[in-house]
């Protein structure tokens, strides 16, 4: 039956198209060039929720947090000029971390394009390197088509952000509205058919391996392959380690989960990468923070690379067997071919590494004897109070590494952090987006005093919508990660990293948000429990050791074999 049409403005066509894509939440900030869309949205408030952030960067980071925990496409609105340019950091972040977004920006009227009109910016030129696709709509007739294509491109294959820049006259003009979902774009191949011969080759390598190691990244989560990953490691007995964004794809308590890879990852996975004979990489891209000096990375190993994006194959680490395709489909086929096995002696080597790391690092982080509180013990106590069921959000810095190392996660899609771009200020708006995306789950965000101050205005958004985010500021009055590098590699020349901070508790309370400050170990458990049990948002400032460092650490440019357990 042919779809009936009705005449609407382009602005209303935007909202109707989003509803056709089952959008239930929009994050945004209104302005002149997007005002017609906001006017149309006024009549649809009972069908779609709009969250008014306090800055466009907050809107896009919130949309990222929403997308990461819900598995849906995040949507945000911004106006032209500075509104659109304020999205660029979030777009770049989403592009590097494969987060599906559709960002709709208003633009000056098409007759004014190229005239340096008020609040005009070349949004297409600015965002092209930071998007999977971008498009400028200057005709009302293109609006439904462009939105349908945007959602298809953003969510298919390797996900990513899309920008639609819609001129003001296209928003005002009228159209006979008809919507057709997009399921194909010429010359765009989001996913390749799995090569069965390559699967057989990979299975033979895994079966013959004496010291196999599996590395898994966010591709497992994006493809929904958590079950297949767990079945594969259990059937083959292969120890598995995770990249930062792969955290939560396999429960941290699983006996074959041997920890985190990379610069501040666990000792065992880093050392054993250069000792394994077969390296199975699933849904990860061999980022430099994982490989260290790539010229000395896993040279002894035969590499099996499971990857949806052909651009990542052989880009950094050459693959003996490249399995191009969706991780879930590849792992399903691989599961049928591999032989049941165990590698107890090899796994025992990881346990020995863990014991060494526990003695030199972990026990000192989690159960310190020094007077001042450590970041690790705060993370541990909050993790214990939430029973491993919370969504963990972090900003960027020392606390990010500490929280990712020590916060227990039992469910997938439970970590929201800025991986590839390392965006300070990401944490607070991403946490509010995560809470909107999963309102029935606890959301805990760890931030440093530096990163928090980059987007702290989003406390206003959290207060306005009474979002029950639990916010923990680990305050050392330093830009901690930069200070650590200055201490270790720049002769303790602390150049412009010490901070004079506001009264964070008073700031939170000025927004009507409950808050407390803790500096003594004896008070920590009580206040953490109060925060977790509190109905509504809560900010906890914890004063921690000023010169507390994150170890293990692979020095920049060094091999993963040269990982340090202490200064």
CATH number of the domain that residue 243 is part of:
3.40.50.1220
What angle is formed at CA 408 by the lines to CA 404 and CA 410, rounded to 5 degrees?
120
In DSSP terms, 513 is beta-bridged to none
- The one-character DSSP state at 497 is -
319 CB-side CA count, 13 A:
23
Answer whether residue 553 is part of any domain.
Answer: no
Tokens of 382: 């909050």
H-run or E-run covering 450: helix 449-452
- The one-character DSSP state at 312 is G
CA pair distance 268, 205, nearest whole angstrom: 22
Cis peptide bond upstream of 336, omega within 30 = no
Catalytic residue among 12, 21, 56, 357, which?
Answer: 56
Known catalytic residue: 118? yes
- Do residues 37 and 11 touch, judged by C-beta distance below 8 A? yes
What is the CB neighbour count within 10 angstroms for residue 371? Answer: 8
The pLDDT of residue 156: 98
Residues of the chain with pLDDT under 70: 1-4
> Of 39, 1, 33, which Cα lies nearest the Cα of 15?
39
The reply to whether 226 and 256 lie within a common domain is: yes
- Do residues 531 and 542 touch, judged by C-beta distance below 8 A? no
pLDDT digits (tens, 9 = 90+) for 92-116: 999 999 999 999 999 999 999 999 9
In DSSP terms, 321 is beta-bridged to 304
> Of 329, 343, 341, 277, which Cα lies nearest the Cα of 304?
277
Answer whether residue 189 is part of any domain.
Answer: no
- Do residues 228 and 339 touch, judged by C-beta distance below 8 A? no
The reply to whether 344 and 218 lie within a common domain is: yes
Give residues with Cβ within 8 angstroms of 441, minimum separation 6. Answer: 69, 389, 390, 391
The reply to whether 328 and 256 lie within a common domain is: yes
What is the CB neighbour count within 10 angstroms for residue 19? Answer: 14
User: pTM of this prediction?
Assistant: 0.97
The reply to whether 140 and 271 lie within a common domain is: no
The reply to whether 388 and 510 lie within a common domain is: yes
CA pair distance 284, 243, nearest whole angstrom: 7
pLDDT digits (tens, 9 = 90+) for 295-306: 999 999 999 999
Catalytic residue among 168, 329, 333, 435, which?
Answer: 168
The reply to whether 332 and 457 lie within a common domain is: no
- Do residues 292 and 560 touch, judged by C-beta distance below 8 A? yes
Answer whether residue 558 is part of any domain.
Answer: no
Q: Which of 111, 146, 176 is the last residue of a domain?
A: 176
Known catalytic residue: 216? no
Catalytic residue among 20, 35, 72, 119, which?
Answer: 119
Residues 177-210 as b/e (b if ≥16 CB within 10 A, e otherwise) read bebeebeeeeeeebebebbeebbebbbebbeebe
The pLDDT of residue 4: 62
What angle is formed at CA 88 by the lines to CA 83 and CA 92, rounded to 5 degrees?
155
Answer whether residue 91 is part of any domain.
Answer: yes
What is the CB neighbour count within 10 angstroms for residue 488? Answer: 14
CA pair distance 493, 515, nearest whole angstrom: 34
> Hunting for tokens 């899309």 — which residue is that?
162
- Do residues 489 and 481 touch, judged by C-beta distance below 8 A? no
CA pair distance 239, 258, nearest whole angstrom: 6
Give, rounded to a whole angstrom, the gap between the first and last alpha carbons of the chain: 71
Answer whether residue 457 is part of any domain.
Answer: yes
> Of 418, 436, 371, which Cα lies nearest the Cα of 76?
436
The pLDDT of residue 132: 98
Answer whether residue 336 is part of any domain.
Answer: yes
Catalytic residue among 49, 118, 359, 546, which?
Answer: 118
Q: How many domains does the chain have?
A: 3
Catalytic residue among 16, 260, 471, 481, which?
Answer: 481
The reply to whether 290 and 167 lie within a common domain is: no
If DSSP codes are grouped into helix, strand and coil, which group holds residue 217? coil
- Do residues 148 and 90 touch, judged by C-beta distance below 8 A? no
Tokens of 184: 């194909």
**Helical pair 196-208 and 327-337, crossing angle rounded to 10 deg:** 60
Answer whether residue 51 is part of any domain.
Answer: yes
The reply to whether 301 and 433 lie within a common domain is: no
In DSSP terms, 8 is beta-bridged to 175
The reply to whether 510 and 435 lie within a common domain is: yes
Burial of 45 (0-12, 13-18, 19+ CB in 10 A): exposed
> Hunting for tokens 């396999």 — which residue is that?
250
Burial of 171 (0-12, 13-18, 19+ CB in 10 A): buried
DSSP per-residue string spanning 80-135: STHHHHTTHHHHHHHHHTT--EEEEEEE--GGGTTTT-TT---HHHHHGGG-SEEE
| Rg, the chain, Cα only | 24
374-378 contacts, C-beta under 8 A, 24 or more apart: 374/544, 374/545, 374/548, 375/399, 375/402, 375/474, 375/544, 375/545, 375/548, 375/550, 376/402, 376/405, 376/406, 377/521, 377/524, 378/472, 378/474, 378/524, 378/528, 378/542, 378/544
> Of 508, 555, 517, 559, which Cα lies nearest the Cα of 536?
508
- Do residues 563 and 271 touch, judged by C-beta distance below 8 A? yes
CATH number of the domain that residue 43 is part of:
3.40.50.970
If DSSP codes are grouped into helix, strand and coil, which group holds residue 220? helix
pLDDT digits (tens, 9 = 90+) for 217-270: 999 999 999 999 999 999 999 999 999 999 999 999 999 999 999 999 999 999
The pLDDT of residue 423: 98
pLDDT digits (tens, 9 = 90+) for 310-349: 999 999 999 999 999 999 999 999 999 999 999 999 999 9
The pLDDT of residue 1: 38
The reply to whether 517 and 387 lie within a common domain is: yes
Q: Which of 176, 207, 242 is the last residue of a domain?
A: 176
- Do residues 374 and 519 touch, judged by C-beta distance below 8 A? no
Answer whether residue 322 is part of any domain.
Answer: yes
For residue 102, the enclosing domain spans 7-176
Known catalytic residue: 47? no
- Do residues 304 and 280 touch, judged by C-beta distance below 8 A? yes
In DSSP terms, 322 is beta-bridged to 305
- The one-character DSSP state at 143 is H
CA pair distance 129, 55, nearest whole angstrom: 22
């Amino acid at each position: 039956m042919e779809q009936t049409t009705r005449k609407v403005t382009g602005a209303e066509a935007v909202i109707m198209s989003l509803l056709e894509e089952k959008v239930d939440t929009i994050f945004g900030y209104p302005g002149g060039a997007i005002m017609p869309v906001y006017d149309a949205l006024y009549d649809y408030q009972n069908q779609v929720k709009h969250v008014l952030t306090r800055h466009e960067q907050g809107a896009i980071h919130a949309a990222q947090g929403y997308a990461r925990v819900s598995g849906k496409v995040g949507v945000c609105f911004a106006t032209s000029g500075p509104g659109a340019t304020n999205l660029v950091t979030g777009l770049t972040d989403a592009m590097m971390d494969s987060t599906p977004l559709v960002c709709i920006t208003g633009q000056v009227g098409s007759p004014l394009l190229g005239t340096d009109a008020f609040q005009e910016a070349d949004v297409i030129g600015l965002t092209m390197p930071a998007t999977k696709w971008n498009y400028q709509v200057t005709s009302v007739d293109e609006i439904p088509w462009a939105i349908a294509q945007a959602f298809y491109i953003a969510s298919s294959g390797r996900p990513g952000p899309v920008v639609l820049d819609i001129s003001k006259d296209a928003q005002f003009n009228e159209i006979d509205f008809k919507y057709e979902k997009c399921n194909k774009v010429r010359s765009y191949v989001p996913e390749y058919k799995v090569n069965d011969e390559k699967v057989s080759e990979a299975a033979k390598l895994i079966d013959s391996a004496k010291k196999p190691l599996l590395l898994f990244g966010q591709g497992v989560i994006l493809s929904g392959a958590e079950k297949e990953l767990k079945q594969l490691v259990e059937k083959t007995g292969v120890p598995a380690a995770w990249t930062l964004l792969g955290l939560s794809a396999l429960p941290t308590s699983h006996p074959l989960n041997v920890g985190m890879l990379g610069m501040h990852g666990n000792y065992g996975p880093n050392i054993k990468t250069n000792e394994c004979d077969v390296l199975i990489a699933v849904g990860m891209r061999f980022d430099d923070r994982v490989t260290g000096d790539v010229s000395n990375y896993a040279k002894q190993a035969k590499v099996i690379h499971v990857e949806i994006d052909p651009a990542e194959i052989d880009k950094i680490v050459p693959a003996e067997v490249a399995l191009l395709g969706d991780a879930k489909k590849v792992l399903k086929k691989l599961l049928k071919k591999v032989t049941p096995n165990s590698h107890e002696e090899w796994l025992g080597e990881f346990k020995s590494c863990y014991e060494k790391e526990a003695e030199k690092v972990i026990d000192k982080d989690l159960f310190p004897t020094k007077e001042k509180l450590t970041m690790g013990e705060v993370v541990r106590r909050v993790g214990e109070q939430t029973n491993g069921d919370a969504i963990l959000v972090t900003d960027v810095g020392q606390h990010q590494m500490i929280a990712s190392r020590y916060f227990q996660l039992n469910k997938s899609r439970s970590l929201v952090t800025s991986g590839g771009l390392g965006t300070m200020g990401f944490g607070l708006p991403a946490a509010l987006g995560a809470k909107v995306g999963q309102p029935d789950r606890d959301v805990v965000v760890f931030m440093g005093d530096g990163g928090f101050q980059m987007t702290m205005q989003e406390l206003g958004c959290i207060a306005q919508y009474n979002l029950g985010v639990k916010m923990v500021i680990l305050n050392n009055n330093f830009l901690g990660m930069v200070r650590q590098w200055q201490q270790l590699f720049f002769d303790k020349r602390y150049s412009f990293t010490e901070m004079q901070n506001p009264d964070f508790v008073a700031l939170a309370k000025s927004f009507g948000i409950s808050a407390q400050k803790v500096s003594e170990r004896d008070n920590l458990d009580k206040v953490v429990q109060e925060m977790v049990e509190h109905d509504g948002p809560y900010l906890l400032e914890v004063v921690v050791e000023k010169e507390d460092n994150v170890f293990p650490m692979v020095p920049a440019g060094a091999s993963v074999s040269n990982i340090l357990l202490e200064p």
